[in-house]
Amino acid sequence: MRWATRRHCHVDRAACAWLIRRFLDPEAEFVFVDDPDEVPADATPFDMRGVELSHHGGDCSFETFLRRYELADPVLWEIAKLVHEADLADERYDAPEAPGLDVLLRGLSMVRDDEELLALSGPLFDGLYEYRKRALLTGREPA
Amino acid sequence: MLLAYRLPRDPSTPRSALWRKLRRLGATQLLDGLAALPLDARNREQLEWLADEVFEAGGEATIWIGELASAAQERELATRMAKAVAADYRALIDDAAAARSERAGRRRRTLGRLRRELRRIRARDYFPPAERELAQQAVDELAALVEESVR
User: What digits encode the pLDDT tens for the residues B83-131?
Assistant: 999 999 999 999 999 999 999 999 999 999 999 999 999 999 999 999 9
Spatial separation of the C-alpha atoms in residues A117 and B140, rounded to whole Å: 36
Mean pLDDT value of segment B29-56: 93
* Residues A9-35: tens digit of each pLDDT: 999 999 999 999 999 999 999 999 998
Confidence of residue B1 (pLDDT cuts 50, 70, 90): very high
Whether residues B48 and A49 touch (CB distance < 8 A) is answered with yes
The CA distances from residue A3 to A43, A45, A59, A64, A79, in Å, are 5, 6, 20, 15, 21
* Closest Cα in chain A to B51: A49
Q: Which of A8, A50, A58 lies closest to B53 in CB terms?
A: A58
ipTM: 0.82
Mean pLDDT value of segment A34-40: 92
Whether residues B52 and A99 touch (CB distance < 8 A) is answered with no
Note the pLDDT of residue A143. 84
What are the phi and psi torsion angles at A112 (to 5°)? -135, 150
Name the helix (H) or strand (E) containing A127: helix A114-138
Whether residues B123 and A50 touch (CB distance < 8 A) is answered with no
Whether residues B52 and A90 touch (CB distance < 8 A) is answered with no
Confidence of residue B10 (pLDDT cuts 50, 70, 90): confident
Closest CA to B80 of B129, B118, B113: B129
Note the pLDDT of residue B43. 93
Note the pLDDT of residue B46. 93
Confidence of residue B151 (pLDDT cuts 50, 70, 90): low
Instruction: Decide if pLDDT at A99 tops 70.
Output: yes
Whether residues B52 and A55 touch (CB distance < 8 A) is answered with yes
Instruction: Decide if pLDDT at B149 tops 80.
Output: no
What residues of A are in the B interface, CB distance below 8 Å? 8, 49-50, 54-58, 88-90, 99
Instruction: Decide if pLDDT at B47 tops 80.
Output: yes
**Of B9 and B107, the one with more pLDDT:** B107
Mean pLDDT value of segment B59-87: 95
Average pLDDT, chain A: 96
| B27 φ/ψ sector (left φ>0, alpha ψ -120 to 50, else beta) | beta
Residues of A in contact with B63 (CB under 8 A): none
